[in-house]
Amino acid sequence: MTYPAPTVSGGLAPVTITCTPPSGSAFSVGSSQTTCVATDAQQRFDRCTFTVTVESTPVLGATRFVAFGDSITEGKLSDGNFAATPYPTGVRNLLSTRYMTQQFTMVPEGGGGETTSGGVGRLPGVLSADTPEVLLLLEGVNDLPSGDSSRIGPMISNR
């Protein structure tokens, strides 16, 4: 941890400053007290104390994601155009911003127009090929126009 030297006013030059622990020291996670002492040529001194707080960097246990689903996962908008940032890319960007010491893989597996039954058939192959640690699942929107709500529901993978 590097911190700026304290500002000294007054005293007879030369004034020396000694900090314990010194700037550039390694600090453990948590709070540590630092004390700086300024001593002038007449051996007059003053001190200041401040706290240095080091927070641990958050870490996720999984870094390999697959975003599986329909055209929304693929990044298509309702007008058929593609979104500037499809949601899988947005999620990866958010993860990278929050967990800065980790690299994330986001495999996009969106299929435009896919129904839940199509997804059920496609999912095992995607899981085998991509071997994700996390599955982001978005299916069922294309089942709504048919009125068959029996096909809308959870898909469970015992992985």
Structural domains in the chain, sorted by start: 1-56 (no CATH), 64-151 (3.40.50.1110)
Question: Quick check: 10 pLDDT over 90?
Answer: no
Kindly state the average pLDDT of the residues 45-49: 93
d(CA 101, CA 94): 13
pLDDT-above-70 percentage for the chain: 91
- Average pLDDT of the segment spanning 104-121: 92
pLDDT value of residue 6? 81
What is the rounded CA–CA span in Å between residue 89 and residue 67?
Answer: 9
Distance between CA atoms of 70 and 137, rounded to whole angstroms? 9
What pLDDT does 15 receive? 93
Residues with Cβ within 8 Å of 122's Cβ and at least 6 positions away in sequence, in order, are 111, 114
Question: Do the Cβ atoms of 142 and 72 come closer than 8 Å?
Answer: no
